[in-house]
Amino acid sequence: MNTPFPSIEQLRTQLTSREISAVELTEEYFHRIRSTSHQLNCFVSLHEDSALQAAREADSDIARGRDRPLTGIPIAHKDIFCIEGKKTTCCSRMLQSYVAPYSATIVENLENAGAICVGTTNMDEFAMGSSNETSANGPVRNPWNLQHVPGGSSGGSAAAVAARLVAACTGSDTGGSIRQPASFCGVTGFKPTYGRNSRYGMVAFASSLDHPGCLTNSVEDAGRMLSAMAGNDTKDSTSASQEPIGWSSSTRPRRLGYPTRLFADLPQSIARPLEEARHTLEAAGNTIVEIELPHFDVAVSAYYVIACAEASTNLARYDGIRYGHRSKFDGNVEDMYAQSRSEGFGMEVKRRILTGTYVLSVGHYDSYYMKAQKIRRLIRDDYLRAFHQTDVILSPSTPTTAFRLNAMDLDPTDMYKQDQFTVPVNMSGLPAMSVPCGFSDGLPVGLQMIAPHFRESELLELGIDYQNLTDWHQQQPCLPKT
Amino acid sequence: MERDQLLNEEILVRLCQLSNLRLLESEQGELLHDLQTIKRFVDNIHGVDTREVEPLSHPLDMDQVLREDSTVDEIDRATYQELARDIGDGYYLVPRVIEP
Amino acid sequence: MPAKNVNSSLWEPVIGLEVHVQLNTNSKIFSSAPVTVSVEPNRAANAVDLALPGTLPVLNKKVVEKAILFGMATAGRIASRCRFDRKNYFYPDLPKGYQITQLTEPIIEGGTLEVRVDDGSIRQVELVRAHLEEDAGKSIHGKYAGKTGIDLNRAGTPLLEVVTAPQLNTPDEASACFRTLHRLVTWLDICDGNLNEGSMRCDANISVRRHGETQLGERTEIKNLNSFRFVERALKHEIDRQISILETGGEIVRETRLYDVERDETRSMRGKELAHDYRYFPDPDLLPVAITQEMIRAARSAMPELPEARCSRYIDELGLPAETAHRLTQEKAFSDYFESAFAIAGNAKLTANWVLGNVAATLNRNEISIENLQLSGPQLGEIVKNIVDGIVSDASAKQVFEHVLATKSNVADAIGQQRESLMSDERDLKALVQRVLDGNPIQVEEYRKGKKKILGYLVGQVMSAAKGKIDPKKVNQALTEILASD
């Protein structure tokens, strides 16, 4: 019943052949956004004027043959990327009225590639959450079932791409924040190697784990986005200097690492589509190599120690003085700090700041923070060892399909466990993506693929092969039009 | 051992002081419970043998790239200060800090 | 409570210094904003300095180079890899809520500083470490009713924090140590040394113990001493305070104290003491810094001759008295001036006398630094050379010196002019010589009898009659002529 949605390449062909103008395309997207996005709550702000202005410029560039790889392609940014002159709020009360004075490198790179930004997408507050329920702008709904969450923290981006309200979205992934919502919403979520995309201008959550990336309708689209986003940035000390991301269309057999134990405890509803995906890949000529990841079980715990530690000090800058929320109850300096921060941050952010403060404080540093950093090495080395005999590792993206809103309210660690398959990858800095591989009870299931550092091309090539053999990525949710 | 210590109310108060958070009474109980749960959750890291393992701060073994000592004129004070609530003569203003 | 009547001879103070040295780079340690003191508030603070969301630090290469230079000059161990940590605490002039510093892996460890105390004795003071960190902004109190103003221009200024071992035993030694450090960092051109503007700020750790005791007593820390004199005075007071507490059976409380310049006393910074827990950890925004052999080589070739080495050379090779050599090596520009003058004059002692005499007096009188003197080292060398060669007398050289200073003319012209104006007319000279001969008939007689050595006496007489404003060679010539002709 679905007609396949045009890929970025197809949109580009339509634009360059003047079948449609960038202005028309942009207007069409805004029309779609207006008619459906309120059901999803996936946007924080829309930049209609500047988008149309950019579309007019795109048309004139196309007319003069000066178009670039993404000229005229409508995209949206997760509300964590600074866009000069626009509100960047991280969906926190703390930054409710923050207008960024400069643009993130990722934002500039996409702009320079010709992409048109239609607005910013909803997210968990400061990217802390796996359901998009911690947003100060209210939860996003899953386009496949409005009673369910879209995942998080890039929930707005995932929902917007799934509902085809934009051609692609940026996202950020600290512990799975691109891949988990991509999996929940049935889209492709790509997190490249740490250092591949600049973090400059992306509001920090946990610096050594934060990865900018993208959410798209296909692996090929992800490749096009990443080619435009990536690159060495002298403003980010952790940015890597590497060959640009590329991929070829030729299929070749690969050795696929299969950590059997990770698939063993999954509910049938998820296990079955993943099993099927494995068979599809095997049938295509790839070989399955069983591998072990011995320290997988402690990864989430070690991750939360490190992520919270970094977050607790990254968020110390929000003091109400130079920007951000400043309490009216600021009679003295202590009040100014404590009231502004307490009013500005939501509960999950507070939990993580306090946890991070705890693990870094006197007497706990060695037994928690240092210990977790040692475990981090063990986890990374598990992967590096596995890559001696494999090209790409397969893994579930999530332990369940999208859960119902408010389902995880009681125990914060239930939510943390959502990220068990994704956090070890962030700790290791490896490139990984989630691709749709089926459905369970009408909700999408995602397959995660992980590659060695800076081998994004492996993922792109394998993913394109897989999507040539399947059509899960072309399935579209049916939203009632209003 | 340190890790067996309970994360109690006293510690919560101290953590709030260090991180400059002031909890409502209604939040206090909930947060204490949450933190205890989180602590139990992360405590399984203590079971891992990490003797002779070097801590890993960054996923990639890269070195710092150094910047040339040049200045870039990009300081737009007016724009920056529009973001602040209390400004006087170009200063950021805060409630009086009592010096000893 | 300044205690006066303490029996300080029973007690031995133990002092260690922590000196914050602002490095004189163009841009800040982690941002490309300028390092400057002379602009309006917050005009030299960019997005990184303001800690705007999403901004990241990138390390300035020059900062590392200057630290290496310091480490090399003090024979410290230069780390092959160093690292930056976050020190977490809230203060309105600390925009990120943490300071980037180096706790566990500083760029420099160890080293020594040769300190010459006022009594002339030399102490080898061990350095514990020198690490890099960023400066905070400034809080301005009292300008706005009930409010404090925050200026972040200084935020992110590179600092090298130098920590000495607790090996100093008197306020004099501590002050001399601070002064030696000041001389070294300005000599190396890694700091402008401007104490008034806070380019060097000293914290002192101080405890006292009974003589012969080996354990250290409880210590206090005195913060923000920004002059040599304040270091000395603050420590004197703090030593007296501690001794008087201990002598009356009291206990020293470990605390941070401030020196109040106006009241000339130290007082506790209670209230700020809310038992800190800085939660240091490696800054994840920065990677480990590798100090390469190439950087070490570059520093080695950029290393100037150090003041101690130069001082010894002046004594051993130039034969200058120790005190003279020491005075000449207090400041690099001053010493370089001497070097360039000496290179031309060829007489170290005379050049030194001129530099420490006329030159120093001129600098004092006009309150200028040697760089701004209107007479260069080579020019001074030329003047001194003329004295050495007997072309001008000391007194007329002094006039040439003043003339060049006043008119910025070149030395050769000034000497020429001087000599012309002195005795431009040959007849004037002859008349003067005749007058002197007339007044010394006995000597003239002796000369004529063959005692030619008497000529020198006569030249002296003429010179003194001319008040030195005359070329002795010409006098000699005129005398010989007149005596021969008679």
More confident residue, C148 or C267: C148
- Residues A351 and B34: their CA atoms lie apart, in Å, by 8
Chain C hits for B58, CB-CB cut-off 8 Å, are 284, 287
* Catalytic residue check, A17: no
Looking at residue A480, what is its pLDDT?
75
**pLDDT tens digits, A414-432:** 888 899 999 999 999 999 9
DSSP state letter for B46: G
Q: Do B35 and B7 form a contact (C-beta atoms < 8 A)?
A: yes
Is C307's pLDDT higher than 70?
yes
Q: How close C98 comes to chain B (CA, Å)?
A: 11
Name the strands in the sheet holding A188-191, side by side, starting at the edge strand that comes first in the sequence. A43-46, A116-121, A74-78, A168-173, A211-216, A188-191, A432-440, A443-450, A392-396, A255-259, A287-291
Name residues 7-36 of chain B within 8 A of A (Cβ): 7, 11-12, 14-16, 18-24, 27, 30-31, 34-35
Query: In the predicted model, what is the mean pLDDT of residues A178-189?
Result: 98
Q: Do A89 and A123 form a contact (C-beta atoms < 8 A)?
A: no
**Closest partner residue to A412 among B34, B43, B46, by Cβ?**
B34
Q: DSSP string spanning C353-386?
A: HHIIIIIHHHHHHHT--GGG-SS-HHHHHHHHHH
* Catalytic residue check, A153: yes
**Distance set, CA A407 to CA A411, B71, C466 (Å):** 10, 52, 110
Angle at the Cα of A256 (from A250 to A257), degrees rounded to 5? 155
Is C427's pLDDT higher than 60?
no
What is the H or E stretch that residue C311 is in? helix C307-316
Which pTM was predicted?
0.92
Chain B hits for A98, CB-CB cut-off 8 Å, are 83
Determine which one of A92, A177, A198, A312 is catalytic: A177
Q: Is C239 helix (H, G, I), strand (E, B) or coil?
A: helix
With cut-offs at 50, 70 and 90, classify the pLDDT of residue B4.
very low
Subunits close to A (at least 3 CB pairs below 8 A):
B, C
DSSP state letter for C417: H
Q: Does B64 sit within 8 Å of A350, measured CB to CB?
A: no
- Residues A477 and A162: their CA atoms lie apart, in Å, by 7
- Residue A153 preceded by cis peptide, ω within 30: yes
With cut-offs at 50, 70 and 90, classify the pLDDT of residue C455.
confident
Chain A hits for C95, CB-CB cut-off 8 Å, are 317, 321-322
- Print the SS3 string covering C155-173: CCCEEEEEEECCCECCHHH
- Residues A142 and A147: their CA atoms lie apart, in Å, by 7
Determine which one of A21, A131, A153, A172 is catalytic: A153
Q: Does B67 sit within 8 Å of C60, measured CB to CB?
A: yes
Of residues A421, A400, A418, the one with CA closest to residue A191? A421
**Distance set, CA C231 to CA C9, C167, C170, C234 (Å):** 21, 15, 11, 5
**pLDDT tens digits, C154-165:** 999 999 999 999
- Residues A230 and A210: their CA atoms lie apart, in Å, by 15
- Residues B53 and C174: their CA atoms lie apart, in Å, by 43
- Residues B82 and A72: their CA atoms lie apart, in Å, by 33
Q: How close C92 comes to chain A (CA, Å)?
A: 7
ipTM: 0.96
Q: Is C279 on the interface with A (CB under 8 A)?
A: yes
Is C258's pLDDT higher than 60?
yes
Looking at residue A413, what is its pLDDT?
87
Interface test with C, best of B15, B21, B69 (most C CBs within 10 A): B69
Is B3's pLDDT higher than 70?
no
Looking at residue C439, what is its pLDDT?
84
Torsion angle of the four alpha carbons A436, A438, A444, A445, in this order, in degrees rounded to the nearest 10: -70
CB atoms within 10 A of CB A112: 12
Q: Do C160 and C132 form a contact (C-beta atoms < 8 A)?
A: yes
For C241, how many CA atoms within 13 A lie in the half-sphere containing its CB? 22
Is C64's pLDDT higher than 50?
yes
**pLDDT tens digits, A200-229:** 999 999 999 999 999 999 999 999 999 999
**Closest partner residue to C51 among A201, A238, A317, by Cβ?**
A317
What amino acid occupies position A21?
S
Torsion angle of the four alpha carbons B11, B12, B18, B23, in this order, in degrees rounded to the nearest 10: -160
With cut-offs at 50, 70 and 90, classify the pLDDT of residue A105.
very high
Q: Is C287 on the interface with A (CB under 8 A)?
A: yes
Looking at residue B26, what is its pLDDT?
86
Q: Per the structure block, which two tokens stand in for A326?
A: 């400043």
Q: Does C27 sit within 8 Å of B70, measured CB to CB?
A: yes
- Mean of all residue pLDDT scores within chain A: 96
Looking at residue C468, what is its pLDDT?
64
Share of chain A above pLDDT 70, in %: 99
More confident residue, B5 or C377: C377
Least confident of A169-178, A214-223, C395-404: C395-404
Q: DSSP string spanning C29-98?
A: SSSSSB--SSS-TTSS--TTTTT-TT-----BHHHHHHHHHHHHHTTPEEPSEE--EEEE---TT-TTSE
What is the H or E stretch that residue C268 is in? strand C265-268
- Print the SS3 string covering chain A: CCCCCCCHHHHHHHHHCCCCCHHHHHHHHHHHHHHHHHHHCCEEEECHHHHHHHHHHHHHHHHCCCCCCCCCCEEEEECCECCCCCECCCCCHHHCCCECCCCCHHHHHHHHCCCEEEEEECCCHHHCCCCCCCCCCCCCCECCECCECCCCCCHHHHHHHHCCCCCEEEEEECCCCCHHHHHHHCCEEEECCCCCCCCCCECCCCCCCCEEEEEECCHHHHHHHHHHHCCCCCCCCCCCCCCCCCCCCCCCCCEEEEEHHHHHCCCHHHHHHHHHHHHHHHHCCCEEEEECCCCHHHHHHHHHHHHHHHHHHHHHHCCCCCCCCCCCCCCCHHHHHHHHHHHHCCHHHHHHHHHHHHHHCCCCHHHHHHHHHHHHHHHHHHHHHHCCCCCEEEEECCCCCCCECCCCCCCHHHHHHCCCCCHHHHHHCCCEEEEEEEEECCEEEEEEEECCCCCHHHHHHHHHHHHHHCCHHHCCCCCCCC
- Mean of all residue pLDDT scores within chain C: 90
What is the H or E stretch that residue C292 is in? none
C11 forms beta bridges with C210
CA A482 to the chain's CA centroid: 28
Looking at residue A1, what is its pLDDT?
37
- Residues C228 and C232: their CA atoms lie apart, in Å, by 7
Is A2's pLDDT higher than 50?
no
DSSP state letter for B99: P
- Residues C26 and C34: their CA atoms lie apart, in Å, by 6
- Residues C478 and C429: their CA atoms lie apart, in Å, by 8
Q: Does B45 sit within 8 Å of A375, measured CB to CB?
A: yes
Query: φ, ψ for residue A149 (rounded to 5)?
Result: -80, 160
Query: In the predicted model, what is the mean pLDDT of residues C11-31?
Result: 97
Q: Does C53 sit within 8 Å of A90, measured CB to CB?
A: yes
CATH 1.10.3470 fits B1-47, yes or no: no
A6: left (phi over 0), alpha (psi -120 to 50) or beta: beta
CA A281 to the chain's CA centroid: 25
Q: How close C399 comes to chain B (CA, Å)?
A: 46
Q: Per the structure block, which two tokens stand in for A113?
A: 């590639």
**pLDDT tens digits, A275-333:** 999 999 999 999 999 999 999 999 999 999 999 999 999 999 999 999 999 999 988 99
Torsion angle of the four alpha carbons A343, A349, A351, A355, in this order, in degrees rounded to the nearest 10: -120
CATH numbers and ranges of domains, chain C: 8-295 (no CATH), 305-423 (no CATH), 426-485 (1.10.10.410)
In chain B, where the domains are located: 1-47
Q: Does B56 sit within 8 Å of A377, measured CB to CB?
A: yes
Residue in chain A closest to B79 (alpha carbons) equals A101
CB pairs under 8 A between A and C: 98
Looking at residue A412, what is its pLDDT?
85
Q: Is C142 helix (H, G, I), strand (E, B) or coil?
A: strand
Q: Is C59 on the interface with A (CB under 8 A)?
A: yes
Q: Does C32 sit within 8 Å of B71, measured CB to CB?
A: yes
With cut-offs at 50, 70 and 90, classify the pLDDT of residue C394.
confident
Helix-strand-coil split of chain C, %, nearest 5: 40, 20, 40
- Residues C207 and C235: their CA atoms lie apart, in Å, by 10
What amino acid occupies position A452?
P
Chain C hits for B77, CB-CB cut-off 8 Å, are 42-43, 45
- Residues C218 and C336: their CA atoms lie apart, in Å, by 45
Query: In the predicted model, what is the mean pLDDT of residues C184-207?
Result: 96
Q: Is C271 on the interface with A (CB under 8 A)?
A: no
Is C3's pLDDT higher than 50?
no
- Residues A140 and A131: their CA atoms lie apart, in Å, by 8
Interface test with B, best of C139, C223, C257, C285 (most B CBs within 10 A): C139
Q: Does B18 sit within 8 Å of A357, measured CB to CB?
A: yes
What is the residue whose two structure tokens read 């104006």? Answer: C421
Q: Is B14 helix (H, G, I), strand (E, B) or coil?
A: helix
**pLDDT tens digits, A32-86:** 999 988 899 999 999 999 999 999 999 999 999 999 999 999 999 999 999 999 9
Looking at residue C467, what is its pLDDT?
62
Rg (CA), chain A: 21
**pLDDT tens digits, C215-234:** 999 999 999 898 999 999 99
CB pairs under 8 A between A and B: 182
**Closest partner residue to B72 among C32, C139, C150, by Cβ?**
C32
Q: Per the structure block, which two tokens stand in for A152?
A: 């998080």
C268 forms beta bridges with C257
With cut-offs at 50, 70 and 90, classify the pLDDT of residue A475.
very high
With cut-offs at 50, 70 and 90, classify the pLDDT of residue C395.
confident
**Closest partner residue to A316 among C47, C97, C285, by Cβ?**
C97
Chain A hits for B20, CB-CB cut-off 8 Å, are 316, 319, 337-338, 341
Q: Per the structure block, which two tokens stand in for C460?
A: 């002296």
Q: How close A55 comes to chain C (CA, Å)?
A: 27
Is C205's pLDDT higher than 70?
yes
Q: Is C255 on the interface with B (CB under 8 A)?
A: no
Within 8 A by CB and 6+ apart from C255, the residues are: C220, C221, C268, C269, C270, C273
Looking at residue B1, what is its pLDDT?
40
Torsion angle of the four alpha carbons A319, A321, A322, A328, in this order, in degrees rounded to the nearest 10: 100
**pLDDT tens digits, B34-90:** 999 999 999 999 999 999 999 999 999 899 999 999 998 678 999 999 999 999 999
Q: Does C148 sit within 8 Å of B75, measured CB to CB?
A: no
CB atoms within 10 A of CB C193: 20
With cut-offs at 50, 70 and 90, classify the pLDDT of residue A481.
low
Least confident of B15-24, C81-90, C436-445: C436-445
Residue in chain C closest to B97 (alpha carbons) equals C148
